[in-house]
Amino acid sequence: MRRYAVEFIGTFFLVLTIGCTGMAAAPGVIAPLAIGSVLMVMIYAGGHVSGAHYNPAVTLGVGHAWG
The 3-state secondary structure of 1-67 reads: CHHHHHHHHHHHHHHHHHHHHHHHCCCCCHHHHHHHHHHHHHHHHHHHHHCCCCCHHHHHHHHHHHC
pLDDT band at 34 (very low <50, low <70, confident <90, very high): confident
In a domain? residue 11: yes
In a domain? residue 37: yes
Domains contained in the chain, number? 1
Answer whether residue 21 shows pLDDT above 70.
yes
In a domain? residue 63: no
State the Cα–Cα distance between residues 41 and 3, nearest whole angstrom. Answer: 17
pLDDT band at 10 (very low <50, low <70, confident <90, very high): confident
Domain with 25 in it: 2-57
For the whole model, what pTM was predicted?
0.70
